[in-house]
Amino acid sequence: MRALTQWSHDHPWPARILITILHFTLALAAICLGVLLYGLDVWLPAGVKYGGIALFLLGTLLYPMRKAGFNVLACNYSNSRRMAGLLLVASFIMICGGMNQRVQRVMAEAPTVEYQALPMVLHEGQSARELRRAERQERRELRRERQASRRALRSELRAIVKAMREESSNGQKVLLSILTILGALVLVYLLLALSCSIACSGAEGLAYIVFFAGLGLIIWGVVVVLRRIHGGQPPGRRPGLPTT
């Protein structure tokens, strides 16, 4: 880590670009994890998001700065790295919890159907025959409504049973997707360490080539694995369309 810090100090602009890319990747991973947890029926409470915000504020207050007049923690390398790690973890928790809460609110907004009973108005002068005819027609309408309700209920039950059968396979797919994203983050961290080691040996151009080429391969691999997990079709080979 000290070698990485020294390289960042000697090459500020490349370090800023790498930090921006890594932060964007981390934020995207947190968003995907929040959505995937909802897909696994894991509904995070609002306390997770607020806990991440509290940790972020705590890390900001405790972060040691050399030019500050007063620091709670001693201004040294170990404390600064600990607080940087705390800020990183807090940001991930805050984004993941917030995204999970957002998906919960969006999915909870479902259209409601209101039913209103319209009374039959009997005008003066209607004969008994007309009243009986109206009653028979009303009973037929009620019978049709009950039959339609039974058919709708049977269709809904079939859909629920089908969803329950597919739930186990969908849960496995979501879990594999989470593991794929976490594995990609580990590979990005190892790639960054390798590029730093190459740059510290004097081959900065080779370090850039290795990093960006490796990052492209990791992104391509994640896309391929996720499409394989979720059964995606390659471009130009959609079901139902003839191939040339």
Residue 148 in any domain: the answer is no
* Pair (101, 202) in one structural domain: no
pLDDT of residue 243: 44
pLDDT tier at 242, thresholds 50, 70, 90:
very low
pLDDT of residue 175: 72
Instruction: For the beta carbon of residue 49, count every other beta carbon within 10 angstroms.
Output: 21
Domain end residue (candidates: 56, 77, 107): 107
* Pair (99, 175) in one structural domain: no
pLDDT of residue 33: 82
* Pair (103, 187) in one structural domain: no
pLDDT of residue 228: 80
Residue-wise pLDDT for 174-200, tens only, equals 677 777 777 777 787 777 777 777 777
pLDDT of residue 161: 57
Residue-wise pLDDT for 88-133, tens only, equals 888 888 888 888 888 888 887 755 444 444 444 444 445 666 777 7
Residue 158 in any domain: the answer is no
Of 31, 47, 54, 52, nearest to 94 (Cα)? Answer: 52
pLDDT of residue 91: 87
pLDDT of residue 139: 77
Q: What phi and psi, each to the nearest 5 degrees, are found at residue 161?
A: -65, -40
| Type of residue numbered 196 | C
Residue 130 in any domain: the answer is no
CA of 73: how far to CAs of 5, 59, 64, 76, 211, in Å?
20, 11, 6, 9, 35
Using the structure block, give the residue that is written with the tokens 């670009």: 17
pLDDT of residue 124: 47
Residue 154 in any domain: the answer is no
Structurally, how many domains does the chain consist of?
2
Structural domain range at position 76: 1-107
Task: Report the percent of the chain where pLDDT is more than 90.
Answer: 0
Domain end residue (candidates: 58, 85, 107): 107
pLDDT score of 31 more than 50: yes
pLDDT of residue 169: 63
* Pair (174, 98) in one structural domain: no
pLDDT of residue 231: 67
* CA distance linking residue 61 with residue 72, whole number of Å: 8
Domain end residue (candidates: 107, 126, 160): 107
CA of 111: how far to CAs of 107, 115, 151, 159, in Å?
11, 13, 21, 19
* CA distance linking residue 92 with residue 86, whole number of Å: 10
pLDDT score of 35 more than 80: yes
pLDDT tier at 239, thresholds 50, 70, 90:
very low
pLDDT of residue 240: 43
Residue-wise pLDDT for 57-88, tens only, equals 988 888 877 776 666 777 777 777 788 888 88
Residue 143 in any domain: the answer is no
Residue 179 in any domain: the answer is yes
Residue 149 in any domain: the answer is no
* CA distance linking residue 156 with residue 179, whole number of Å: 34
pLDDT of residue 164: 54
pLDDT of residue 165: 56
Residue 121 in any domain: the answer is no
